[in-house]
Amino acid sequence: MNQQPSPPDAEIVPPTVEVRLPRKDEALAVRPALAPMAPTASEEQLADRILQIILAKTAEHRAAHGAGPTPAGLVPPEKMYGTVKHIPPEIGLPNSQSLWKFFVAGILGEVKTIARMYFDPRYRLSRVAQIGVPVLLALYVLNYFFFTYTCALPVLPMVAERLMYIPLTLALYKVLVREVARYREVLAYLARYG
């Protein structure tokens, strides 16, 4: 209890930057320097062995494929993996007919999922799907009747009707795709937790 109270008139001034920096430099100079750890002999040997393996593989590859750099995507599979003896027909290269079958199968799968979604008693449609889909379908019908029976010009109603189908179709597609994604999440949740 040998403390002397500071006089109330004395103002406490924190040290300035010029005063603090030399102190930090002195403190760091006194500290022992942190030297990086030198690798052990076994680590050096391992690194040398890995380097030798990489160099040997590179030399083998250059001897087999030529000295120039060859991108991996341009090397034929025979040179890369040995001789390809037989490609099974179910893995064969895609042609336009098989791609068309995948496209049609994907669309039919989506339509089946949408039908299941609408008739699944465990799933409640969102408000957007409950209201948006019937409204969009009603707009399709109104679009047809409006342009068919109100315009007297022969070509303009057909063009305008088709142009109006584009945003209606896009809107219907977006609503149904989002609802199907939500339905699949609910099915995954129900499969996991019952």
Cβ–Cβ < 8 Å for 147, 164: yes
pTM over 0.75: no
Closest to 186 measured CA to CA, from 120, 101, 99, 131 = 120
The whole-angstrom distance between residue 66's C-alpha and the CA centroid of its chain comes to 37
Has residue 155 got a pLDDT over 70? yes
Has residue 182 got a pLDDT over 70? yes
pLDDT at 175: 94
Instruction: Return the minimum-mean-pLDDT range out of 15-24, 73-82, 95-104, 177-186.
Output: 73-82
pLDDT at 92: 55
Give SS3 for 185: helix
Name the residue type at position 175. V
Has residue 174 got a pLDDT over 90? yes
The whole-angstrom distance between residue 72's C-alpha and the CA centroid of its chain comes to 24
Task: Say how many C-beta atoms besides its own lie within 10 A of residue 168's C-beta.
Answer: 14
